Amino acid sequence: MSIIGVGIDVAEIDRFEAALKRTPGLAERLFLRSELLLPTGERRGSASLAARFAAKEALAKALGAPAGLLWTDAEVFVEDSGRPRLRVTGTVAAKAAELGVRSWHVSLSHDAGVASAVVVAEG
């Protein structure tokens, strides 16, 4: 196995929340329903959504930031163990396959008003 790419991104939580509030439909363009809602059906908090957005940005950077990727073709989810994971489809899966990506590693964090993510694409 070899590392194909690494991406990192940060998002200011308050700024991200303000963007979601002022731009109708932005959340639905960035996230799948499963990312927006908790298992209880309640909407996820701004810190969690900002971290997921940072992960999608980091994923794009790990792929070389190609044009044409759809935000909803990358899903950030958390396993029952608490480990964050990525599931890719469509445009993101196609680019990953082209580059030889076979697995993903993702780390999410949010503290002091900032959400961050690191993504490693491994082939």
Reading the block at residue 122, the tokens are 């491994």
Q: How many domains does the chain have?
A: 1
pLDDT of residue 1: 84
Over the stretch 59-81, which tens digit does the pLDDT of each residue have? 999 999 999 999 999 999 999 99
9 labelled ligand-binding:
yes
Cβ-count burial 28-55 (b if 16+ within 10 Å, e if not): eebbbeebbeeeeeeebebbbbbbbbbb
- The reported pLDDT for the residue numbered 116 is 98
CATH code for the domain in which residue 51 is found: 3.90.470.20
pTM of structure: 0.95
Query: What pLDDT, on the 0 to 100 scale, is given for residue 43?
Result: 93
Tokens for 67, please give them: 């044009």
27 within 8 A of 20, measured Cβ to Cβ? yes
Structural domain boundaries enclosing 100: 3-122
Tell me which residues of the chain have a pLDDT lower than 70. Answer: none
Contacts of 65 (CB under 8 A, 6+ apart): none
Residue 68 is predicted with a pLDDT of 94
pLDDT value at position 21? Answer: 95
* List of residues 6+ apart from 59 with CB closer than 8 A: 7, 74, 86, 88, 92, 104, 106, 119, 121
Tell whether residue 73 is among the known ligand binding residues.
no
